Structure 1
Amino acid sequence: MVGRPPQGGRKRLFTQQHELAIIEMVRENNAIQLRELQQRIIANRNIFNNINRISISTLSRILQKHTFRMKQLYRVPFERNSVRVKDLRHDYVQTVLDFDAGELPHEFFYVDEAGFNLAKTRRRGHNNVVGPRAVVNVPGQRGGNITLCAAISVQGVLRHRATLGPYNTGQIIAFLDALHAGQTTAAQVCCHLG
């Protein structure tokens, strides 16, 4: 005896073309939230003309079906590889090479500053027990940021200075003046301030 095919229930809301359009929206903007995606689908009458409402769980299910997972976002400066920045890098290297080919004796000093906090801890951890959180003990008060400025050359570290808070223009100039005063040879200073 042959049974009847299943009936009833609701037909599929999204066609394959609809799902591919949703995937393309997510590919264009990795940081899009499901609620924002929901609003864009309802507002788009060209592609989703028969969709008047859609749940967040349905969107999540569609993304999982196409192997999209929630991941940590990594921020990449959009200008890092632009033509302008590449030209600036090329000019910098050319200037260094010109110094190197010059007849005057010279020595390069590289100056950089970095900020950090002594109370920094890791953001993620492991815990193999189901239920409890992965916990790490941290100080109750964070403390101030510390900024370290240092100058190096082929001889090693020439000068370094740590200060509470960020370095401002006046402090950088004072650091460079103290560096210049401590040098006895004629030098051309190449600064890389990050």
Structure 2
Amino acid sequence: MVVANNAIRLREIQAAVIADQGAFRNINSVSLATIDRVLKRNHVRMKQLYRVPFQRNSDIVKEARFQYVQRIMELEAEGAHHKFIFVDEAGFNLCKVRRRGRNIIGQRATVTVPGQRGANITMCAAISNDGVLCHIPTIGPYNTERLITFLDALKDLLIPPEERGLLRPGMTLYVIIWDNVAFHHSRLVNEWFAAQPRIMIQFLPAYLPFLNPIEEFFSAWRWKVYDHRPYEQMPLLEAMNAGCLTIGAEDCQGWIRHARRYFPRCIAGKTFNATLMRTCGIIVKNEWTKCER
């Protein structure tokens, strides 16, 4: 009962036990204390409940997972060399600090933060097996115009000036993989990709953060920004850039390998169960998962 319904209460278990004369024959009464003791004996404890979108394991989403993985495998099997680049945006604010600390028993653990919240700073970043390719922070949220500026900078880093606008055999093709945020589908963004013969776009299906290794990049990056203590030692923008510089190609390769471990499970159409993924600085209720049959 508990496995089927994590939100079930002791009184509901009590009523179900008394009502089920098949599995619990001749049990006409049972105390809540007994039920609690039996649950603890079987390693069942109270936990915080996290909301899980019911659509995550729908047939449509499972099919989208399958199609995404199938598309990636097809690109890898083609004659032309494809390089996969993961792009995403993440916000940062000086008021965000570590949520847990240490102090003497009986004394509150505190941390110094600015008196005023200040503006959010958003950074757009791109990673691949070569490491962090590009990162551009900006005050406020990202929008279509700022995204185009980022894509132009990324293109300049990927393609030499003499090769721009050309598509010849043997040239590397670049695949930008990102999520389905609204401005990723804007007309200007689509026109930008249409004008790039060597850069294509691939959207991640919904509810698939565990297939996006840049989520782990931002998780590690946020802790590195905290370690620079930007509100005391350096401006926030400098701390954000310094945090990126400490993340190497080996880190990115590990995150990409970890994401690809889920490919066979997506191909098999398995169900993913949500657990809590802490993404440095803030708690992100991503579907970072283990899977069951």
Q: TM-score, normalised by structure 2?
A: 0.40
The AA in structure 2 aligned to 1:167 is Y
Which ranges in structure 2 are unaligned for 5 or more consecutive residues? 22-26, 167-171, 180-293
Counterpart for residue 166 of structure 1:
141
Structure with greater proportional strand content: 2
> Do residues 137 (structure 1) and 117 (structure 2) align?
no
Counterpart of 2:45 in structure 1 is 69
Q: How far did 1:148 drift?
A: 1.5
Q: CA deviation at 1:141?
A: 4.5
Query: Which residue of the other structure, out of 120, 129, 145, is the alignment partner of 2:96?
Result: 120
Render the CA deviation track for 1:44-72: whole Å, top value 9, x for unaligned: 87417845x965x5543332233322346
Alignment match, 1:18: none
SS at 1:150 equivalent: strand
In structure 2, what is the Cα distance between the partners aligned to 1:111 and 1:61?
48
> C-alpha displacement at 1:153, in angstroms?
6.3
Choose between structure 1 and 2: higher helix proportion: 2
Inter-partner Cα distance in structure 1 for 2:101 and 2:129 = 40
Partner residue in 2 for 1:87: 67
1:62 counterpart SS class:
helix
Asked if 1:191 corresponds to 2:167, the answer is no
RMSD of aligned alpha carbons: 4.2
Identity between Structure 1 and Structure 2 (%) = 35
Q: Is the CA contact (8 Å cut-off) linking 2:88 and 2:124 kept in structure 1?
A: yes
**Is the alpha carbon distance of 1:45 and 1:108 closer, same or farther for their aligned partners in structure 2, counting shifts above 3 Å?**
same
Q: Is the 8 A contact 1:147 1:163 kept in 2?
A: yes
* Residue number in structure 1 paired with 2:256: none
Taking the aligned partners of 2:123 and 2:68, their CA distance within structure 1 comes to 26
Closer/same/farther in 2, CA of residues 66 and 107 from structure 1, 3 Å limit: closer
Q: What is the TM-score when the length of structure 1 is the normalising length?
A: 0.55
Name the SS for the 1:162 alignment partner. strand
Alignment correspondent of 1:21: none
The answer to whether the 8 Å contact 1:113/1:149 transfers is yes
Deviation for aligned residue 1:120: 2.9
Shift, 1:114, TM fit? 3.7
